[in-house]
Amino acid sequence: MVYGKILLPGLALFLAAAALPASARNDRSRAAAVYMDASAPIEDRVEDLLSRMTLSEKIYQLNQYVLGENDNTNNIGDVVEECPGEIGSLIYFGESAVTRNAMQKRAVEQTRLGIPVLFGYDVIHGFRTVYPIPLAQAASWNPDLAARACRVAACEAASSGIDWTFSPMVDIARDARWGRMAEGYGEDPHLCSVFAAAAVKAYQGDSLAAENSIASCLKHFVGYGASEAGRDYVPTEISRQTLWDTYLPSFKAGVDAGAVTLMSSFNNISGIPGSANSYTMTEILKGRWGHKGFVVADWNAVEQLINQGLASDRKEAARLAFNAGLDMDMVDGCYQEHLASLLNDNTVSEERLDDAVRRVLRVKFMLGLFENPYTEELPESERFLLPSSLDVAEQLAQETMVLLKNEGGVLPVGDDVSCIALVGPLAKSREDLLGSWSGRGRAEDVTSIFDGLSSALSGRAELLYAQGCDFEKNDTSLFAEAVSAASRADMVILCLGEKRSWSGENASRSTIALPPVQEKLLAAVKRTGKPVVVLLSNGRALDLTRISPAADAVLEIWQPGVRGGNAVAGILTGKYNPSGKLPVTFPYTTGQIPIYYNRRSSGRTGMQGRYQDIPSTPMYGFGFGLSYSDFSYGTLTVCVDGSGNRVSSGEGVLDFTLGQTLTAEVTVTNTGDTDGKETVQWYIRDPYCSVTRPVRELKHFEKQMIASGESRTFRFEIDPVRDLGFVDSGGNPFIEPGDYFIMVGDQKVTVRLGSPE
The Cα–Cα gap between 75 and 66 comes to 10
Give the residue among 748, 734, 723, 746 at the shortest CA–CA distance from 190: 723
Q: Least Å distance between CB 183 and ligand NOJ?
A: 7
Among this protein's residues, is 543 annotated catalytic? no
Please report how close the Cβ of residue 184 comes to ligand NOJ at its closest, in angstroms. Answer: 11
18 versus 90: smaller Cβ distance to ligand NOJ: 90
Q: What is the DSSP letter of 284?
A: I
Distance, in Å, from the CA atom of 546 to the CA atom of 554, rounded to the nearest integer, reads 12
Q: Which of 206, 207, 302, 295 is nearest to 255 (CA)?
A: 295
**SS3 helix, strand, coil % of the chain, rounded to 5?**
35, 20, 45
Kindly state the smallest distance separating residue 166's Cβ from ligand NOJ, in Å.
3
- CA pair distance 331, 213, nearest whole angstrom: 25
Question: Which residue, 245 or 505, is less far from ligand NOJ as judged by CB?
Answer: 505
DSSP 439: T
User: SS3 of 570, please?
Assistant: helix
Rounded to whole angstroms, how far apart are CA atoms 660 and 247?
Answer: 29
Query: Closer to ligand NOJ at the Cβ: 86 or 505?
Result: 505
Of residues 385 and 507, the one with the C-beta less far from ligand NOJ: 507
In the complex with ligand NOJ, the residue whose CB is nearer, 254 or 452, is 254
To ligand NOJ, the closest distance from the beta carbon of 5 in angstroms equals 15
Kindly list the distances between the CA atom of residue 183 and the CA atoms of 138, 186, 435, 438, 708, in Å, as whole numbers in the listed order.
10, 9, 9, 10, 35
DSSP 106: H
Between CA 134 and CA 505 the distance in angstroms is: 14
Q: How far is CA 575 from the centre of its chain?
A: 28
The single-letter DSSP state of residue 314 is H
CB of 308 to ligand NOJ, least distance (A): 15
Minimum CB distance to ligand NOJ smaller for 299 or for 586: 299
The residue of the chain with the least Cβ separation from ligand NOJ equals 166
Least distance to ligand NOJ from the beta carbon of 336, Å?
Answer: 18
Strands 653-656 and 553-556: unpaired
Contacts of 665 (CB under 8 A, 6+ apart): 636, 637, 638, 639, 713, 714, 715, 716
b/e burial code for range 64-80 (CB count within 10 A of at least 16 → b): bbbbbebbbeebebeeb
3-state secondary structure of 734: strand
166 or 597: CB nearest ligand NOJ = 166
Judged by CB, which is closer to ligand NOJ: 66, or 403? 66
Q: Nearest distance from residue 228's CB to ligand NOJ, in Å?
A: 17
User: In whole angstroms, how close is the CB of 120 to ligand NOJ at the nearest point?
Assistant: 8
Nearer to ligand NOJ, 221 or 479 (CB): 221
Residue placing its CB nearer to ligand NOJ in the complex, 64 or 629 = 64
Number of neighbouring beta carbons within 10 Å of residue 407: 11
The amino acid occupying position 745 is G
- For residues 228 and 283, which CB has a smaller minimum distance to ligand NOJ in the complex? 228
| d(C-alpha 326, C-alpha 500), whole Å | 32
Write the single-letter amino acid at 576: Y
Q: How far apart are CA 309 and CA 300, in angstroms?
A: 15
* Interface residue list for ligand NOJ (CB under 6 A): 72, 75, 122, 166, 219, 298-299, 505
Sign of torsion over alpha carbons 540, 542, 547, 552: positive
Torsions phi, psi of 205, nearest 5?
A: 60, -170
Q: Which 3 state secondary structure label does DSSP give 26?
A: coil
Catalytic residue among 298, 432, 543, 686: 298
We find the least distance from the C-beta atom of residue 28 to ligand NOJ, in angstroms, to be 37
Q: Residue 662: left (phi > 0), alpha (psi -120 to 50), or beta?
A: beta
Q: 303, 329, 332, 338: which is closest to 317 by C-alpha?
A: 303
Pair 319, 295: CB distance under 8 Å: no
- Compute the least distance from the CB of residue 294 to ligand NOJ, in Å: 15
For residue 282, give every residue at least 6 positions away whose Cβ sits within 8 Å of its Cβ, in sequence order, or none. 324, 325
Least Å distance between CB 385 and ligand NOJ?
Answer: 23
Let me know how long the chain is: 757
Structure letter (DSSP) for residue 157? H
Positions annotated as catalytic residues are 298
